[in-house]
Amino acid sequence: MRKKLFLILLFCPVILFAQTGGELSTQYMLAQNYIQAAQFGKALPILQNLYHLQPSNYEYFQTLNQTYIQLKNYDASIALIEERISGLQGDINLVGLLGTSYYLKGNDKRAFEVWDNALKTFPKSEVNYRIIANYALQLRAFDKAIEYLKSGEAISQNPQFFAYDLANLYSITMRYKEATEQYCLILSHDPNQLNSIQSRILSYINKPDALSQSINVVKKYDNGNEISFKYLLSRLYVQAKNYDGAYDLYKKIDSFQNSQGAELYNFGKFLYDEKIYNMAEKVLNDLINKYPESPLISYTKLQYAKTLEAIVEEENKAQIPAWKPYYLPVKNNSSNADKVVEAYSEIAKIYPHSEAANEALLRIGEIKLNIYNDLSGAKELFQELFTDAPLSELTAEAYEELGNGFLLKGDLTSALDCFQKIAGNGRFPEDKRNFATYELARINMYLGNFPKAKDYLQSITNNPQNSSANDAIELSLLMNTAQNDSSNLVTFAAAEFLADQKKFNEALEKYRTVLNDPQKLMLQNIAELRVAEMEIALNNYDSASVQLERIAGEKEGNIYSDKALYLLAKIYQFGLNNKPKAIETYESLLANFPNSLYLDAARSEILKLKDVVNNG
């Protein structure tokens, strides 16, 4: 009997403790629920009781202190932390918390005294300086955080240990020279950090004076054969549009690396990617002449030809009214295109049956089609590609270009064949096949084969993630709503086909025929918009404006009302050069159509126009 009683007494405290622990956990969970609901006043007495029962529990202490802070009861927080410090010496994080409470109370002088005294009394270590600096940083006391990090740097055997933190703080406080100094310190010890450091410097380089200050700092470090600083300085020179300076540095890099032009090729490709085409053309041309036997020569010549093509495209783009949904054919400068064709032709001749040659054939075909307006010549070139590389993505591009060319000429049968070859080839990229399927739907609509067109559209709309899905959904909706209005749908399809061929006068008459039908269906709504778009294409801005104002005025009654108002603003901006009226119309779009897809574009145009108007 005594033995049983002894066992009961032995295990009784354990049972009581388990029950108490379970109760405490339940109470703590309740307090946490109150905190998540921002009911800090209800959480406070629970946490005070928990801390009283288990003062050694750091989680209870931390949550109670955070609750005092949320309630702005900073005196209670200070008393709580000081009590804990008195019973637990040697924890610098507690001192950091104490300074935080003083700072939040508004007594930043006392907060700094607490932190300063801690760093004087605690062991001199990098970690302690960083801990206190982090507390200052959390409170956005950036200058004080810099002071602590600099003090830590002074006693450190590894100064770059603090460099990233210091650089970040210097950039936040707009001390770009000092920030770049820290980044260069890191780079001098670890050249492998180049990409990280370059991206960090570029993040603030557009701030006032940041670029010139950064260049001056990096130039001081670029005094030997350490090429990481040459890479960095050349990138900053490009940012400053000092392309010749950047090129000179890349020549030195190429020489130091004994790259036989590889570094220069990379620089030329970088300039091309950044759309700095004229300098890219110079670099690549020099490279071709200096290293004709380079293993990269075929890639260099191809990149050179692409750069020449990009220059021509930029020149021609300036003549294209890209703001218009449709526009009349623009006469391109074919004399400059001759030089591009010559460059691509050399590649195709010297490196036959190679990927570079295939791309050259594609580019020449595109130029013949889009600049020379030579459909048969383009077809002949593309045929080589179809024969030599039937499964290449380049071949899909060639079929697409050729199909568009046939559409422009009104040859629906040939266009249909081209897009079928893309859509039916599972080896081609999915986005190409989806686009081709959408084009097949459009062509079948032009041919009056509406069921077949719907089948093609259905296969795309089943996958809303593909890039052609939105266009397919819009066309599918149009055809479904107009299925009981087949005569108007035939007329509308004929108008769309004429618009594709840039026969805008003829298309306009067809759209007006659909529009004049008394039924107000979706078909009439889009025909109404198309009439305005044809007028814009024909430069009839006054009549287009009247039409667009009428559509915009219908608001919810016309699903294209916001687009009409956006186009009207474009007419004022580009067609009539009336910037104040354009701003007013864009602002009307923001006010009247808060859910429009054109909001971001409208805001962007307003900022550009206001900047032009203000700078006169």
Going by C-alpha positions, the residue among 44, 96, 92, 52 that lies closest to residue 72 is: 44
Given this model, what pLDDT does residue 9 score? 36
396 burial via Cβ count (<10 Å: 0-12, 13-18, 19+):
buried
Place of tokens 């040859």: 411
- Rounded-to-integer distance, Cα 220 and Cα 113, Å: 38
Residue 336 confidence (pLDDT): 82
In angstroms, the Cα distances linking 523 to 63, 448, 477, 530, 598 are 63, 16, 10, 10, 22
Of 53-57, 161-165, 517-521, 594-598, which gets the smallest average pLDDT?
Answer: 517-521
Residue 330 has pLDDT above 70, yes or no: yes
Tell me the Cα Rg of the chain: 35
Q: State the Cα–Cα distance between residues 186 and 197, nearest whole angstrom.
A: 8
Distances (CA, A) of 22 to 88, 139, 518: 27, 37, 77
What pLDDT shows up at residue 365?
Answer: 95
Residue type for 325, please? Answer: P
Measured distance CA(111)–CA(439) in Å, rounded: 69
Contact 488, 500 (CB under 8 A): no
Check residue 461 and give its pLDDT: 81
Helix segments in 326-374, DSSP class H? 334-350, 355-370
Q: Which of 267, 334, 347 minimizes the C-alpha distance to 306?
A: 347
pTM of the predicted protein model: 0.75
Structure tokens at 51: 């801390």
Q: Tell me what the mean pLDDT of segment 40-46 comes to.
A: 93
Which positions ≥6 away from 346 have C-beta within 8 Å? 301
What are the residue ranges spanned by the domains of the chain?
540-616
State CA 509 to chain mean position distance. 42
Mean pLDDT of the chain: 90
Give the mean model confidence (pLDDT) for residues 260-266: 94
Instruction: Report the pLDDT value the prediction gives residue 311, as an integer from 0 to 100.
Output: 93
Q: Contact at 8 Å (CB) between 162 and 128?
A: no
What is residue 522's predicted lDDT score, i.e. its pLDDT? Answer: 79
The per-residue pLDDT for 468 is 82
Give the pLDDT confidence of 375-412 residue by residue, as tens digits: 999 999 999 999 989 988 999 999 999 999 999 999 99
pLDDT of residue 391: 87
Q: Is the pLDDT of residue 19 over 50?
A: no
Q: What is the mean pLDDT of residues 142-169?
A: 90
Distance CA 146, CA 159 (A): 14
Name residue 280's amino acid.
A
Three-state SS for 158?
Answer: coil
Report the distance separating Cα 285 and Cα 556, nearest Å.
57
DSSP characters over 494-524: HHHHHHHTT-HHHHHHHHHHHHTSS---HHH
Residue 14: per-residue pLDDT: 39
